[in-house]
């Protein structure tokens, strides 16, 4: 993930998937980056960070036959 700056709008990141059996269902079960959010409908990470630090979170995608792929990311906010 690209780094961000506390108090500055983060350039949105759109997640994509391929393979498996669409349609896909997205979620972020442990998303805890202050001031930012993950929109499961648009697969987009966005917002304005409100705290500095390094934060880890998991984005997961599930396909139509219940295969779940979780990927853990880290983001540093300066």
Span 15-34, average pLDDT? 94
State how many domains the chain has.
1
| Mean pLDDT, the chain, whole residue set | 96
Domain range for 36 is 10-77
- Asked if residue 1 is part of any domain, the answer here is no
pLDDT of 68 reads: 96
pLDDT of 40 reads: 97
Determine contact, residues 73/46, Cβ cutoff 8 Å: no
Q: Tell me: the pLDDT tens digits for 40-76?
A: 999 999 999 999 999 999 999 999 999 999 999 999 9
pLDDT of 16 reads: 95
Determine contact, residues 50/65, Cβ cutoff 8 Å: no
- Asked if residue 4 is part of any domain, the answer here is no
pLDDT of 77 reads: 98
CATH number at residue 21: 2.60.40.10
- Asked if residue 2 is part of any domain, the answer here is no
């Amino acid at each position: 993930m690209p780094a961000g700056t506390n108090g500055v709008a983060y350039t949105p990141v759109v997640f994509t998937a391929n393979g498996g059996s669409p349609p896909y269902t997205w979620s972020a079960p442990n998303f805890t980056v202050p001031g930012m959010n993950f929109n499961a409908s648009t697969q987009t990470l966005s917002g304005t960070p409100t705290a500095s630090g390094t934060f880890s979170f998991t984005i997961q995608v599930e396909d139509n036959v219940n295969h779940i792929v979780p990927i853990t990311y880290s983001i540093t906010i300066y």
